[in-house]
Amino acid sequence: MSKELTYSDVSEHTGKKDLYIVVHDKVYNASSFVDEHPGGEEVLLDVGGQDATEAFEDVGHSDEAREILEGLLIGKLKRQDGDPSPTSSSSSNKPAGAKADAAGLGIGLYALILIGGALAFGAYKYLQMGSAEKQGL
């Protein structure tokens, strides 16, 4: 991995037959993998010629996918002034309690639906009872 490429170099390779991506400041030639990518070629073409670290990490790729990626390695990204700052996984950009808050919201929503269902059932039974009394049953 002695080859160093700049963002300018990487950005020139955005086509299906000539596709470079950057993941964790390493440059990969994904051209040979475009047709084999389980998520479809559009996923790779969308991040072609740019930093795909966040997209790669957000999906949660398997160890096998990471091994395939290493086989596509062609060099290291050489950062220059004016280059975009490195991206990181979106989960690391969230506050520490964000995941817990999201889980709490999910449980709260589930509880709200359960309570709402129980109230609706109770109201239905109450109305059925009132209707039966009116009919003289």
Q: Measured between alpha carbons, how far is 2 from 125 in angstroms, rounded to an integer?
A: 75
- Number of separate domains in the chain: 2
Range of the domain at 124: 106-136
Within 13 A of 103's CA, how many CA atoms are on the CB side? 5
Task: Find tokens 């950005």 and name the residue.
Answer: 11
What are 8-64's pLDDT values in tens digits? 899 999 999 999 999 999 999 999 999 999 888 899 999 999 999 999 988 888 899
> DSSP H helical segments within the chain, as ranges?
7-11, 41-47, 53-59, 63-71, 90-93, 98-134
> pTM above 0.85?
no
Residues 8 and 74 in one domain: yes
* CATH number for position 73: 3.10.120.10
Residues 64 and 122 in one domain: no
Report the length, in residues, of the chain.
Answer: 137
Q: Measured between alpha carbons, how far is 20 from 77 in angstroms, rounded to an integer?
A: 11
